[in-house]
Chain A
């Protein structure tokens, strides 16, 4: 299985690498890897060529006039100023061309709207500024956030090949199956786009939208949020890994097992160091974009955690604000977003990093009890 996966990735990388080399001067849309995206591509090309043809005729007449009918070359002006036949013709001919464009467009659109008979249903939720994917038939889900290091964005480090188009946990879908996406958002409107699938749909808070795709080739496909959603709108990419079905099934089983382990991890006895190690990662993905990697925040909107009252004094208040958020501020309730283990790790990390050396820790079990207190 693993070998297979590696081969698929290697193959995909091999196929993609020439594209990456040439990508710099890419001028056209990519045909993509789904039926929909190919149909869109051919529509796009058809209309492009129709426009080019019209352009050649119109600009041709214009440039002919510019070159042949110059005053400086002694052109004498004609005096005609209307011609009903011509005017009717150039109303009707464009109309006919438009009808010819509308027919294939309508057919494609009808197909794009057919979400029935899907085999995998995935709920996609937009957050400021990451995505959450939930495999609703398999009871697990996770957040997917940008994994490009801050150093690259701030030009302190060379930029990687997939700069800004890489995430910690990509969406995984099976090849050849109809996958249905149910989109919604937590805070503001986002839009989920994978160009190579020809799929783009807005994720709207309080509302549910659906769209679908069927990917034919295994590979890693990258897209971005396309609806302005605030400060980090440019930093919430979409990465989808399309894998063969058996590999997908194995992955799902692994994820379900991992979800189970996670529940067991909650019961485990954690040491401060273990929590700190895990907390650093969880903090980087969930907290650092606002409170900053060094905990200095961006006051007044995002308070500093370094040396703050919350992170150094009353533990219960600290747990409360992380788990339940703070009404009326940007501080979200992470109780539902992070596992008990990650919550415990983040809180422990915040209480011991950047010189907040309280030496205090909170275990996942304690968080679990806190969340389920009657």
Chain B
């Protein structure tokens, strides 16, 4: 993705440095963006291979491949790596590449901090992954790490896990500050807030969410650290603490975190759908307001993850109503995308395929979210595979498909070559079928009563689990094809025009493909 930039550096600028120091010391937003994207894809494969272990064990009832304690480590690490290692860095990578190009800025506002915030990530994940090899094993308490399972009863590696969370938190916060400073200060003259591309808008709001909740997560793990090592009792009932408090603090972070993983995808889809419908986005302003509303509401719904902990009636009702309310702005967004497609002139290249699948499957995830929001019904759904199906329907087509759509959409800009359309369509269809085969049966499993996070299950769940595992293997293997497509595209292929998509709009298409190492040294004028 990255070897490209060398060829087109403009004369009066320095080109990239040579060798390893280019990558270690770079402050160029394009280099850093590429590194983020490569890192996140590596993490995606690592987290994915853990998912393969999970699905292999669940292929049949009985314990075959792994023991329960290792199974729990796999579910925990899969969740942590996918959330913090794959999805979030991928969006930061997209932001690094595209934000300056979209707002007509020469680089990110804080390039040296940018370098730092990237290099912290591999350190954090080195620590996290190393816990797998420690005595007592890796964290085994689920990515939600509820106390006291993660404190009094946690493995010794918990302290390292906390340290890793701290580092990636610092990285995310620095990334968010950089995004905010870039968007607020570096826009080309004439680009007013309400003229900003939606990807810029959604990332601005995401960055504010990050600044608001990552410190809360840091606070939560710090309290855990103190409970484990310094004898405090924040979450320990025996010392007067409250384990439920942990869940409140965690989900105060956790729910906005869910939107952190989806809002940038909303933004990217809002570029891709109009581009391939050859028609302007319907309801730009309402899109912006909807994202703002979703972000604000996300602070008021955290306890819907905790309907069964024994919150009193009034609390249950409040959180149920607030959660239902989120469906309104989310609905507005879906309606806007569909209306953008309506009476357009549609074509279905890979980015559009992923975008359409995003809309359909994310909406299905939204529907199951609506069902989960109904507190009484949640007593049946809670902590079953129905929930697993729900959040995978939101995150796989939502975040992951959003990222694939963005990658195919902007690959020509990054590499200067068109990707192989046939392979990309194969990648799409195999991913689409695999994903649905893997996750749709999980709805049935949950409704039939299969709890989540179990390494073995009763016989009536056998058939759908087998189907689900087959789908998961298919989805997993297919992702190697994506790697191949990207490598092939970086190394050569049909030359891409500055604007390879006839319906695309935006400043990023005014620079040549591949984008030169330095762009917009002179800010463009936006009318």
- On A, residues with C-beta under 8 Å from B are 20, 23-30, 36-37, 39-40, 43-44, 47-48, 51, 54-55, 58-59, 61-62, 64-66, 69-72, 75-82, 86-87, 90-91, 94-95, 98, 101-102, 105-106, 108-110, 112-113, 152-155, 159, 161-165, 187-189, 191, 193, 195, 198-202, 204-207, 209-210, 222-235, 301
Within 8 A of A (CB), among B319-334: 320-321, 324-325, 327-328, 331-332, 334
Is the CB–CB distance between A228 and B243 below 8 Å? Answer: no
Partner-binding segment picked from B46-54, B171-179, B276-284, B295-303: B276-284
B310 within 8 A of A: yes
Contacts of A69 in B (CB 8 A): 277, 341-346
Q: Which one of A65, A86, A187 lies within 8 Å of B153 (CB-CB)?
A: A187
B484 within 8 A of A: no
Contacts of A154 in B (CB 8 A): 62-63
Contacts of B523 in A (CB 8 A): none
Contacts of B191 in A (CB 8 A): none
Report the bound CA distance from A188 to B238 in whole Å.
Answer: 12
Is the CB–CB distance between A234 and B447 below 8 Å? Answer: no
Is the CB–CB distance between B379 and A189 below 8 Å? Answer: no
Q: Which 7 A-B pairs have the closest CB atoms?
A: A206-B237, A234-B454, A23-B460, A51-B367, A226-B383, A209-B310, A108-B376
Within 8 A of A (CB), among B123-139: 136
Contacts of B310 in A (CB 8 A): 201-202, 204, 207, 209-210
Contacts of B285 in A (CB 8 A): 82
Is the CB–CB distance between A66 and B460 below 8 Å? Answer: no
Nearest-CB residue, chain B, relative to A94: B331
Most buried by B among A161, A222, A231: A231
Is the CB–CB distance between A234 and B456 below 8 Å? Answer: yes
A109 to chain B, nearest CB (A): 5
Query: Given A94-B328, A205-B243, A209-B310, A55 and B363 touching (CB < 8 A)?
Result: yes
Is the CB–CB distance between A204 and B243 below 8 Å? Answer: yes
Is the CB–CB distance between A189 and B142 below 8 Å? Answer: no
Query: Given A101-B324, A207-B237, A66 and B341 touching (CB < 8 A)?
Result: yes
Is the CB–CB distance between A27 and B379 below 8 Å? Answer: no
Nearest-CB residue, chain A, relative to B444: A27
Report the bound CA distance from A188 to B452 in whole Å.
Answer: 17
Contacts of B325 in A (CB 8 A): 98
B71 to chain A, nearest CB (A): 8
B289 to chain A, nearest CB (A): 10
A161 to chain B, nearest CB (A): 7
Contacts of B321 in A (CB 8 A): 102
B512 within 8 A of A: no
Contacts of A98 in B (CB 8 A): 324-325, 327-328
Is the CB–CB distance between B338 and A65 below 8 Å? Answer: yes
Nearest-CB residue, chain B, relative to A229: B149
Report the bound CA distance from A228 to B460 in whole Å.
Answer: 21
Contacts of B464 in A (CB 8 A): 25
Is the CB–CB distance between A72 and B347 below 8 Å? Answer: yes
Nearest-CB residue, chain B, relative to A107: B376
Query: Given A62-B341, A65-B346, A66-B346, A112 and B379 touching (CB < 8 A)?
Result: yes
Residue tally, chain B, CB below 8 Å to A: 91
A259 to chain B, nearest CB (A): 29
Q: Which one of A102, A198, A201 lies within 8 Å of B320 (CB-CB)?
A: A102
Report the bound CA distance from A164 to B459 in whole Å.
Answer: 8
B524 within 8 A of A: no
Report the bound CA distance from A209 to B308 in whole Å.
Answer: 10
Q: Which one of B72, B383, B460 lies within 8 Å of A227 (CB-CB)?
A: B383
Nearest-CB residue, chain A, relative to B344: A77
Assuming A47-B371, A65-B341, A78-B344, what are 5 further A-B pairs, CB within 8 angstroms?
A: A59-B360, A113-B312, A155-B64, A164-B457, A204-B244
Is the CB–CB distance between B320 and A228 below 8 Å? Answer: no
Report the bound CA distance from A23 to B320 in whole Å.
Answer: 32
Report the bound CA distance from A101 to B321 in whole Å.
Answer: 10
Is the CB–CB distance between B68 and A65 below 8 Å? Answer: no
B61 within 8 A of A: yes
Is the CB–CB distance between A164 and B458 below 8 Å? Answer: yes
B60 to chain A, nearest CB (A): 8
B101 to chain A, nearest CB (A): 23
Is the CB–CB distance between B328 and A228 below 8 Å? Answer: no
Is the CB–CB distance between A206 and B238 below 8 Å? Answer: yes
Contacts of A163 in B (CB 8 A): 61, 458-459
Contacts of B463 in A (CB 8 A): 24-25
Is the CB–CB distance between B341 and A231 below 8 Å? Answer: no
Contacts of A201 in B (CB 8 A): 308, 310
Query: Given A65-B342, A206-B238, A231-B69, A20 and B460 touching (CB < 8 A)?
Result: yes
Is the CB–CB distance between B346 and A78 below 8 Å? Answer: no
Query: Given A65-B343, A109-B375, A113-B313, A81 and B282 touching (CB < 8 A)?
Result: yes
Q: Which one of A71, A159, A162, A222 lies within 8 Å of B62 (CB-CB)?
A: A159
Contacts of A78 in B (CB 8 A): 279, 343-344
Report the bound CA distance from A331 to B143 in whole Å.
Answer: 27
